[in-house]
Amino acid sequence: MSKVVLKLGDDVSTDIIYPGRFMATVLPSETPQYAFADIPDFNARLKKGEFTKESVVVAGKNFGCGSSREQAASCLKGPDLVVIARHFARIFLQNSINLGLKTIICPDIEAEEGDELEIFGDKVINNTSGKTFPIKPLPKARQSIIDAGGLIPYTRNRLLERKV
């Protein structure tokens, strides 16, 4: 069971997720402090450690549009948040898969802050509203990266294969 801790609309850009003025901070271990920095209330609660692992950010269409900055994915991966959106912008989705941030494409998702969700196989169940929403599988090209545990181990394996 996972709680929705932030509900957002359509076209949430990487400037909202991780504002450009913090881009000089690059290390995944340091980026979570600036996640949604311009949504101060959420950012303060995140920094206090109020959210349990797999807490959910719910958004509309085109989540993560804009810049390629990977900090936008690493800042959410750090606290192990899950993002459920109607769909994602390409680079953000790719970055998330590469870093192991759990992203779920759920074209019809309806959920409010405080709702309790369950991610079960190919659907999201909203236990608060009693409704169920189908999950759209991630682009097939990406599954092998997820299975390897992210792009770093995946690339490492490929390098070692070449060496042989």
Half-sphere exposure of 88 (CA within 13 A, CB side): 29
Sole binder of another protein in the list 41, 122, 137, 163 (CB under 8 A): 163
Residues constituting the chain: 164
CB of 126 to another protein, least distance (A): 24
CB of 141 to another protein, least distance (A): 4
Instruction: Enumerate residues 58-77 that contact another protein by CB under 8 A.
Output: 61-62, 65-71, 73
Q: At what angle do helices 151-163 and 90-99 cross, to 10 degrees?
A: 70
DSSP notation for 31-52: GGGGTTTTSHHHHHHHHTT-SP
- Structure tokens given for 106: 């759920």
Q: Which stretch binds another protein (CB under 8 A): 8-16, 50-58, 110-118, 120-128?
A: 8-16
121 or 160, CB closer to another protein?
160
CB of 61 to another protein, least distance (A): 6
Q: Which residues pair with 3 in a beta bridge?
A: 116
